[in-house]
Copies of this chain bind each other. A is one copy, B any other.
Amino acid sequence: MINKIRESAEEAVADVKDGSIVLIGGFGMTGEPQELCDALARRKVRDLTIVTNNAGSGEAGIGRMLAEGCVAKLVCSYPRVPGSTVFEELYEAGKIDLEIVPQGTIAERVRAGAAGVPAFYTRTAWGTPLAEGKEVREFDGKEYLMERAIRGDVALVKGLKGDRWGNLVYTKSMRNFNPVMAMGAEMTIAQVKTVVELGELDPEVIVTPSIFVDRVVEVEPMNA
C-alpha cells in the first residue's frame, strides 16, 4: 500500500541535508508551511539555499530558519515585508546572500525545472539591472533574457487537505506558490490541515496530483 503519510513535521524533514536547495511555498504568511520550516529550524540544518517569495515574517517559519542560521542564501522577489527584521539584520551584517528574482521569473524558473526545461527566454527584466550577466537574444525583432531553471532538492509546501498518495488541495489564495514548488523538487514534503481518506478528493479538483508529493503530514497549525 502506498502511504506517504508521516506522523510529525520532525519525521517528515528528518533527512533534509545541510547545503540543500529548499523551495518553500507561500506568499507572505499565507500558505507558508510554517510548521515544516520550524521543524527544519529546530534541527539546525546549515547552508541551505532557500527559494521562496518573501523573507518570512516574525519568528516562526522562514523567519525562524533565518534566525537559527540555517540559510546561506535566499532567492526571492521581495524580502522586505513587515516583520521580516531577521532577514534585514543578517543582510546588513553580510551574513546571507541574496538573489533578487522577479516574482514571475521565480515561478517560471521553478516550473521549467519541473518540466525538464533547462532554460527559457523571457522579456521580464530585460534592460534592467536584474538583466546583468544574463544572455540576451532576439526573437522576431524583440530582445529577451535567457533564464535558467531552478530545481530543488526539497520542497516544503502547505495544503488544506492531502491523502496517502500525496494528492493535495488548497483553499483560496493560500494556493499561490505551493503547487509550483511542489512540482519543483526531488523530495516534496507537504503539511496539510487535514489528511483525508484516499478517494475523498474529487479527481477533478485535485490541484497537486500525487506524483509530485513524497510526504504528507497533518499539523495543528498555530494560526488555524
Q: Which residues of A are interface residues toward B (Cβ below 8 A)?
A: 108, 112, 115-124, 137, 139-140, 142, 144, 148, 169-172, 202-205
A66 to chain B, nearest CB (A): 29
Name the distance in Å between A188's Cβ and chain B's nearest Cβ: 21
Q: Are B116 and A123 touching (Cβ within 8 A)? A: yes
Contacts of A124 in B (CB 8 A): 116
Q: Which of B115, B121, B204 has a CB less than 8 Å from the CB of A205? A: B204
Distance A202 CA – B207 CA, assembled complex (angstroms): 14
Chain B residue at smallest Cβ distance from A115:
B108
Copies of the protein in its oligomer: 2
What is the minimal beta-carbon distance from A90 to any residue of chain B, in angstroms? Answer: 30
With A204-B169, A204-B205, A205-B204 already in contact, the answer to whether A120 and B116 are too (CB < 8 A) is no
Q: Which one of B117, B144, B202, B204 lies within 8 Å of A122 (CB-CB)?
A: B117
Indicate which residue in B112, B115, B117, B122 contacts A116 across the interface (CB closer than 8 Å): B122
Q: Report whether A118 and B117 are in contact in the complex, using a CB–CB cutoff of 8 Å.
A: no
| Chain B residues, Cβ within 8 Å of A115 | 108
Q: How far is the CB of A169 from chain B (nearest CB, A)?
A: 7
Known A-B contacts A108-B115, A115-B108; the reply to A171 vs B204 at CB < 8 A is: yes
Q: Are B121 and A119 in contact (CB-based, < 8 A)?
A: yes
Pick from A115, A117, A119, A205 the residue with the most CB of B within 10 Å. A117
Contacts of A118 in B (CB 8 A): 121, 139-140, 142, 144
Docked CA distance A122–B114 (Å): 12
Closest residue of B by beta carbon distance from A107:
B115
Q: How far is the CB of A115 from chain B (nearest CB, A)?
A: 7
Question: Which residue of chain B has its CB nearest to the CB of A117?
Answer: B120
Flag if B119 contacts A112 (CB, 8 Å).
no
User: Contact: B120 with A120, CB < 8 Å?
Assistant: yes
6 of the cross-chain contacts (CB-CB < 8 Å) are A108-B117, A118-B142, A119-B137, A119-B139, A169-B204, A172-B204
